[in-house]
Amino acid sequence: MSALNRIFVADIPSYDGDPLLFRSLTGEESLSTLYDFDVTLLSASQSVDLNALLGKSLTVEINDIPAAPRYLNGIVTSMALSGREASGNRYYLYRATVRPGLWYATQNHDFRIFQEKTVPEILSKVLDGYQIKVESRLSYTYRTWGYCVQYQESDFAFISRLMEHEGIYYYFTHQRGGHTLVLTDSPQGHDALAGYEVIDYRLSEGGLAENASNIQQWRVSDSITPGRLSADDYDFRKPRARLLEARENPASHAGDKAQRFEWPGGYTTANEGSFYTQVRQQEQESRHEQASGMATSPGIAPGYRFTLANAPRDEDNRAYLITGARYVFQESSYASQNDDPARHRIEFSAVPAAINWRPARVTPRPKTHGPQTAEVVGPAGESIWTDRYGRVKLKFRWDRYASGDDSSSCWVRVSSIWAGWKFGAIQVPRVGEEVVVDFINGDPDRPLIIGRVYNEDNMPPWDLPADATKMGITSRTKDGNAAKANFLSLDDAPGRESFAMHAERDMGVTVENDQAITVGVNQLVAVGANQVTTVGANLMEAVGGNALQTYAVDLTTIVTGTSLSAADVSIDASRNKIIAAGLRAAVVGADFNVAGIRAEINPVYLGVSSAKILADNTVLDLYSQKIAMGQLALYAHGLTLFI
């Protein structure tokens, strides 16, 4: 058979080495799966440059069809010389592994953070790094993910699990020299392959109708799937919100009482929960009613629709979506003495086209393994950066793309030893501190700060191990240095046990009821400026020994309804002494001694009863409207008395 009459033709346009001829192709192609074709090529040379073929685009053209040619295209990812075709045959066998361009995304391994993006936006961002032609046929509106992490996984594994979670799936269309990745989420994302809108079921008299363009085997099956699907989750911003969502599976068996419950469901609102439970229900429905068969029609291709005609059962004559295919193609021999004909066979699977097909969730979600550390970050110039929940931003050790500012992560909650409504303990981690981070349910998307640790840049407030007996809390004035701090310190060193508190500026202490302070030995109170003591009722001071009060300038004591009682009382003033009474002043004693150059008594009423007035070299002036003297003894030595 001449090259012009060949059914299958291999084309590698960017390769200019030894000629290669198509011999066979086997491989599988399915929805939401990377196809893998094993293509056997022939060459008269045993010296084909294998390395030169790696990464080249290879197209297999299928011509034995009434419509336009069909193509299968991919990238050569592996090339091998596998021997000779047959004894005496002049052709050498070369085996090429052909995969889609998206296969390159399986070869890396990365950590990356995406914020405030929908899954389609994340897909676009990731796929931009590859030379892949993408066509979007998405019809749903997707939620915005505040925080989404690619964690220790390939780009392909990352986008695969996201698509599976959202119910997005894909297939490939093939063209000469290329292929296209088609993203879809509904039955409207599929067409029939031109010329193969209707495919007949047909058997020849001898059984299989070899190489006729039809379906030769047809099987249908129904399977039991869970009758009810439900999910729940939690959002700390709405801790009392009811997020439980459930949906019945209309395709379940009447006797099936099984319920599939998922927690966490991966959402934070009731609307999101309703959408995801619908996707989970459609995922199960996609596996309830299935069909499979074998065909020689090249129009069988995953992602395309066809209508079956002339089926053994009339109810099977309807539209189907092809979900998977296994190809077996072989070209006739190039040896003139060999009469081996060309063959092509396709085994396939399908579901009713009316079903909203959803991908199975087969890609593992990454899990963290124990705590890790990260650095607290914030905007330039900020030493404290937090929100109303006391959350902070982080830069993880594995995040090589982060800028190290407040855009590096989501807001991350901080664990506390006590947390209640307007009570508890709080200390907001500051920019530059190293914190210990764990993840709720091991989910990289849900970090939680559980502790803090020192490092060489951030050392403890005391010198260790010399001060190992010390413990306490030392703060730092915002944007200040080590000398600007509040602290509470306890020292357990034998013989010098101590408790110290320091307020860098002001300190306020409020006691709602009683306070008792007991000092075993000495107490020193030093006030740099003013001290005000206000007592609402009584004040009592008991001194076991002496009391000394020294005033550099004046002392004014104002007393209302209070007395001073002591065995001896001495009031000394180096200059002036003033004792003032607003209404009445009484001095009572066996002797009343006034000593000085001049003594003036100017009351409204002066009463002296059974008392002695001793005046020594003193001028005594009594100015009064009324003076009452009873049994008054007046002793004067050089006394001048004015009345």
Phi then psi for residue 162, to 5 deg, are: -65, -45
**CA dist 187 → 278, 325, 542 (Å):** 15, 19, 94
Phi then psi for residue 163, to 5 deg, are: -65, -40
- For position 553, what pLDDT does the model report? 82
If the chain, 643 residues long, is cut into consecutive pieces of 10 residues, what is the mean pLDDT of each piece? 71 85 95 97 91 94 79 96 77 95 96 97 96 95 96 97 98 96 96 90 60 82 81 89 82 68 90 91 89 90 95 92 95 70 88 95 95 96 94 95 90 92 91 96 96 94 92 89 88 93 92 93 91 91 86 77 63 62 60 59 53 52 48 49 50
- For position 155, what pLDDT does the model report? 97
**CA dist 500 → 249, 288, 423, 559 (Å):** 68, 73, 25, 37
- CATH numeric code, 3-101: 2.30.110.50
SS3 content of the chain, % helix, strand, coil (to 5): 10, 35, 55
Q: Which of 360, 396, 505 is nearest to 113 (CA)?
A: 396
- For position 481, what pLDDT does the model report? 86
> Token digits for 344?
């092509």
Phi then psi for residue 219, to 5 deg, are: -135, 145
Peptide bond into 379 cis (omega under 30): no
Q: Which of 132, 130, 213 is nearest to 172 (CA)?
A: 132
Can you give the residue ranges of every domain in the chain? 3-101, 225-285, 372-453, 578-643
Return the C-alpha torsion angle 276, 282, 285, 289, nearest 10: -160
Looking up tokens 């029939």 gives: 192
Determine the Cα–Cα distance for residues 199 and 309; give it in Å rounded to an integer.
6
Q: What is the pTM of this model?
A: 0.81
Kindly report the number of other CB atoms within 10 A of residue 146's CB atom: 13
Q: Residue 123: enclosing H or E segment and its boundaries?
A: helix 119-127
Kindly report the number of other CB atoms within 10 A of residue 553's CB atom: 4
Q: Is 3-101's fold the same as 372-453's? A: no
**CA dist 371 → 89, 114, 528 (Å):** 64, 21, 49
- For position 299, what pLDDT does the model report? 85
Determine the Cα–Cα distance for residues 205 and 309; give it in Å rounded to an integer.
18
Determine the Cα–Cα distance for residues 506 and 486; give it in Å rounded to an integer.
10
Contacts of 508 (CB under 8 A, 6+ apart): none
When the candidates are 2.40.50.230, 2.30.30.40, 2.10.70.10, 3.90.1150.10, the CATH number that belongs to 372-453 is 2.40.50.230
